[in-house]
Amino acid sequence: MVTVGIIGAGRIGKVHTESICNYVRNAKIKTVADPFMNETTEHWLKSMGVENTCKDYHEILNDPEIQAVLICSSTNTHSPISLEAIAAGKHVFCEKPIDHDLTKIKQVVEALKGSGIKYQVGFNRRHDHNFAAVKQAIVDGKVGDVHIIKITSRDPEPPSAEYAAVSGGMFLDMTIHDFDMVRFLAGCDAEEIYVQSAVLVDPAIGEAGDVDTAVITLKMENGAIAVIDNSRRAAYGYDQRAEVFGSKGMVATANDTLSTAVLSNAEGVTGEKPLYFFLERYMQSFATEVKGFIHAIENDTDTLVGVEDGLKPVLMGIAAKKSVEEHRPVKLSEIVY
């Protein structure tokens, strides 16, 4: 049994609390820390079986009984807390991104060298049942050599302009998951990125310096070509699909829905809309990724999504922003840190 502490009791902190308490049998949460801890959150945590709460996460880092921490706090705290946790000898699960600053990510990379610390980054979509099945088909050779990868990722509603202004922009906030997925499915890194983007959903997002619609093309190191299309608003729900085409065939996923029922009558043929947002769509994957993290600790194996996997999508996001700003393809080798 691995004893863990969770730093951050916001939306993603609650997701991990729920998944560990309900689905991860070989881990237990001793303490949850959040600077804004209040009676409502404490009551909810106690209902989940978590007895210890605090406002200062150092109580978790200084607790010798806690072997691992999940960093679910605001993005700007991810790399500093990672460094403190590594120094304290705790295994670390860090929600994406590690940081938007490449220098700070490199500090985490360096701190991990020779430490024996397990470090996993929270790119949960790799652990989704649909995308995992696509990857397995590739690994099993059923599609042959990969030629084309297509990823569709569209949110049901846009964030506020205030959030867009501080999130790092769409490429480092939303598309970062798709960059990770491209690497996961291709089995290699990208060499070059080119972006066509626009502000078509909310003018305030553009005024905040961001975009809300994009088509991204990538040249991968293995010769494959990838295409990602993003929108901050899909009127019909959370649109999450992938297709991989290769020399022997193709594998593709459809959206998850509440049911597979299709009604056919005189008015037409209709089915369910996609699940509305990431909590419904990906809850299983959050539990699966933490199970993998705990397995790595208990069996002294590599984590499934390590610190380098946390670095590469940030490099890709920065290259994508550079492509938009300079209206040209950008090679990943241009992004130096």
Partner residues linked to 189 by β-bridges: none
Calpha distance 124→288 (Å, rounded): 8
- Tokens standing for residue 248: 């022997």
Closest-CA residue to 179 (of 232, 123, 102): 123
Calpha distance 135→305 (Å, rounded): 14
pLDDT of residue 255: 93
Each domain of the chain, given as residue ranges in start order, spans 2-117, 126-276+313-334
The single residue listed with the structure tokens 């993290």 is 293
- Tokens standing for residue 201: 């959903």
Q: 97: cis peptide before it, omega within 30°?
A: yes
Q: What is the CATH number assigned to the segment(s) 2-117?
A: 3.40.50.720
Q: Judging by beta carbons within 10 Å of its beta carbon (0-12, 13-18, 19+), is residue 19 exposed, middle or buried?
A: buried
Render the burial of 211-225: b for 16+ CB within 10 Å, e for the rest.
bbbbebebbbeeebe
- Tokens standing for residue 244: 């991989």
Closest-CA residue to 291 (of 307, 278, 309, 304): 304
pLDDT of residue 277: 73
Q: Judging by beta carbons within 10 Å of its beta carbon (0-12, 13-18, 19+), is residue 113 exposed, middle or buried?
A: exposed
Calpha distance 154→39 (Å, rounded): 35
Mean pLDDT, consecutive 10-residue segments, the chain of 337 residues? 97 95 95 97 96 97 98 96 98 97 97 97 96 98 98 94 84 97 98 98 93 98 98 95 98 92 94 83 92 98 97 98 98 92
pLDDT of residue 167: 85
Helix (H) or strand (E) holding 204: helix 203-207
Closest-CA residue to 69 (of 21, 107, 117): 117
Calpha distance 290→4 (Å, rounded): 11
DSSP strands (E only) in 1-124: 2-7, 27-33, 52-54, 68-71, 91-95, 119-122
Give Rg (Cα) of the chain: 20
Calpha distance 222→184 (Å, rounded): 13
Q: Which amino acid is at 135?
A: K
Beta carbons of 244 and 252 less than 8 angstroms apart: yes
Partner residues linked to 250 by β-bridges: 245
The single residue listed with the structure tokens 């730093």 is 7
pLDDT of residue 112: 98
Closest-CA residue to 51 (of 84, 65, 122): 65
Q: What's domain 126-276+313-334's superfamily in CATH?
A: Dihydrodipicolinate Reductase; domain 2 (3.30.360.10)
